[in-house]
Each structure stands twice: as structure tokens, then as C-alpha cells.
Structure 1
Amino acid sequence: MSALAHDAILMLVIQNPFGLMVYLVELMNETPPREFRRIYIKATTLAFIVLFVFMLIGETLLRDVFQVELPAMKLFGGVITFAIAYGYIVHGPSSIRLFRGDITQLAQQVALPFMVGAGVIWMSMKLGQEYPVGSAAAVIAGELAVTGAMVLSYHWFYKRAKGPLETAMVKYFAMAMRVNALLIGAVSIQMMLSGLHDYIVSRSWSI
């Protein structure tokens, strides 16, 4: 497997489309299908713009303006991802409430912090650092497209499921999400350890 394909898969794992499906159930229940699709597509567009900007100038912005190194963002991304995974394992989907306030703000609430979380931002900067702009942008667009296809497919089935089938879907995804949270928690720990290792190595080279 090429390094680019490996990073694309890692970005998709950190994005966690299965988790996003469950977190969006509240919005699926409260909005008509067409409105949900509009909100989600708007959120995806916003997420792509933000990630593309971070891919281009994120590392320079962190290093030169905020005096923060890339390993620190990697470590922070791991911490945030771990907190989300831990909350779901312990408390279930009620641990995180995404949607509050005006419906016009829902796209931003979908995009942040899940579609554009710290871990995904770190991956965008990593892609911009290691690959040509076209390849990095294609990975970001492809990852968002795959996530969108999975979420919208689940939404399509979810809206058409009735009675026992709907109950079974909710229970199945709740169980699957807890298992998924365990795996995402392990990935987040690996991110933290790797970020700490990268920071120590960078400091040792500067001495």
C-alpha cells in the first residue's frame, strides 16, 4: 500500500463516518430529508474549504504565527478524539449534543468539531506537507465524498425503516458505535504517542 493510500485511510478513520451517522440521528429526526441533505452538503462544502486552507497554509500558520509545531497538533488531535470516544463508550450518544440554536447554524455545527476536528486538521496539514497540492486535495475531497455517501445512504435507509426494523437499526448502530469508539480510542492513543515521539525527536535534533 502506498503512503498516500495509507494516509487517506487514516484520515477516513479519524473522520469516523460511523460515529457521524449516530451523532446525526437527532438531526435526521428533526428535519425533512431534503433539508437534511441540504444541511449536510453545505457542511461538507464548508469542511472542504477549511481543510483545504489548512492543507495549504496550516503548518506555516501554526509555526510562524502561533509558534506551535505540527506534533503538538497531532497530540491535541489525539486528545480530542480520545475524549469523544471515551464519552461515547461511557455515556452513549447523549454524551455529545451537536445541535442547538438557529437552524441556519446547523451546517457549522455539523462541520465542527466532527468533520473538521483537530485530528482531521492535523491530517490535512500532513498531506499538504508531504504530497503535491493536487494529490492532497484529492484525498481530502475523496474522504469527504466517502463519508458523505455513507452518511446519506444510512439516512436513506433510516428514513424508510419503520417499526421493528427502525428499532433494530438504532440498536445495531448504537452497539456498533460503541465497538467503533473502542477502536477510535486506540487510534487516538496511537496519535498521542506518535505526536509525543515526533516532538521528542524534533527537540533532540535541535539540540
Structure 2
Amino acid sequence: MNEVLKSAALLMVLLNPFLLIVYLIDIVEKLKRRNFNAVIIRASLIASGVFCVFSILGDAVFVRYMQVEFASFQIFGGVVFLLIGLQFVFKGPTAVEILQGESKHLAGAVAMPVFIGPGTISASVIIGKKHEPLTACFIVISMVFLCAVILALLKYIHDIVKPRNESLVERYIEIAGRVTALVVGTIAVDMIMRGIGSWLTKF
């Protein structure tokens, strides 16, 4: 049970809905609550399916089926994360420009890169190595939908608080955006270094 909680905590830390809401602030402000919740639910279903695949198949997804090393994914994913982090530093929360358009087209954009990222995929692989397939899938699905519930709650709070105290919301977004940039950038550099380290061990 202790290992299950540790694995769940690992994925939840990487998902972190309190920072994800900053990624999503554009659609939080643009969409009505019902449409926002629908987008989050669809994105959660997509993310859960992807995480379950990686938790069951693990490194084999890369090595056996894609004929590449997992280290390559870590390096490329780290570079992508680093670019997003730099965009946050210079542009703020509006850096995720793909989250534009009608709500029916947003679920895939929210699923990736907001839910599905290099860090969360790596965590799914780790969880799959520690647990039986059904347990691993239960962990990732539970954490994704817990994250979705928290995001829906934060949207509800946003809609109540902003009309009364817009400056407070803007202040939170500004602070959380800076924290997000630091977290994303740190994870990105760590992933790049881990990927390079994995490659160096092969020579």
C-alpha cells in the first residue's frame, strides 16, 4: 500500500493541477464552466489511455516498437520542456499558444502537452515497473481524474473570485507562472542530463 501511495504521489506531483491551471488560464477565462469541464474530461481520457499503455509496456514502447532508446525520448522531451519554460519566462501563461480555438478542438491540445509530457510519461513507465498492470493502470487513471477534479474546482473558484477581486487572480497567475517556469525548466534540464547520461553509459 505504501508503494502505491508513493507512485500515486509521484504522478500527482508531476501533474500538479495548481500549476497546470496556469497553462490553461486562457481557456479558463474563455470557456464556460460546462465546456471547460467537458474539455478536461476528454483530455483526461486521452491522457489516461496513453499513461496506461506506457505503464504496461514500459521501455518496450521505445526499444521494441519504435526502435529507439528511451534516452532519446528523454533528451527530446527535455528540449521541448525547456522551450516551453523559456516561453513562460518571456511571455507568461499565454506561452502555450496551441490552446486556442473552439472547445471541441481543445481536448487533444490540453492532453498534450499539458497532461501528457516527458515527465508524466517517464513516471508512468516507472509506475509500471513497480506494480502489476492492473494496479499501475488504477494508479495513473485515479491520479489523472483527481487532477481533473481539482482543475474543475479551480475553474469554479476562478469564476467566483475574479469578478470580485480580479487583481488577486492576476497576482496568483503571475506568481504561479513564474513558479511554473522554474519547475518546467528544472525538469527539462534534469531530463536532458539523464538522457545524456544514459547514452554515455552505452559507450
Q: Provide TM-score, normalisation by structure 2.
A: 0.85
Q: Distance in 2 between matches of 1:89 and 1:34?
A: 31
Contact 2:86 2:181 in 1 (8 A): yes
State, as a whole percentage, how many aligned pairs show the same letter: 26
Contact 1:81 1:119 in 2 (8 A): no
Contact 1:77 1:122 in 2 (8 A): no
Tell me the residue number matched to 1:191.
Answer: 191
Aligned residues: 203
Residue identity in the other structure for 1:20: L
Q: Distance in 2 between matches of 1:86 and 1:19?
A: 16
Q: Distance in 1 between matches of 2:181 and 2:136?
A: 27
Structure 2, unpaired ranges of 5+: none
Q: Deviations over 1:9-58 (max 9, x none)?
A: 44333334233202222212222211211111111111101221222235
Q: Distance in 2 between matches of 1:192 and 1:5?
A: 27
Contact 1:55 1:124 in 2 (8 A): yes
Q: Secondary structure at the match of 2:13?
A: helix
Residue identity in the other structure for 1:114: V
Moved more, 186-195 or 41-50: 186-195
Q: Deviations over 1:88-122 (max 9, x none)?
A: 12221122213334432211111111111233222
Moved more, 6-15 or 173-182: 6-15
Give the root-mean-square deviation of aligned CA atoms.
2.4
Contact 1:82 1:189 in 2 (8 A): yes
Q: Distance in 2 between matches of 1:107 and 1:186?
A: 27
Q: Distance in 2 between matches of 1:31 and 1:69?
A: 40
Q: 1:100 to 1:179 in 2, by over 3 A?
A: closer
Q: Distance in 1 between matches of 2:25 and 2:180?
A: 16
Residue identity in the other structure for 2:62: L
Tell me the residue number matched to 1:90.
Answer: 90
Contact 1:18 1:177 in 2 (8 A): no
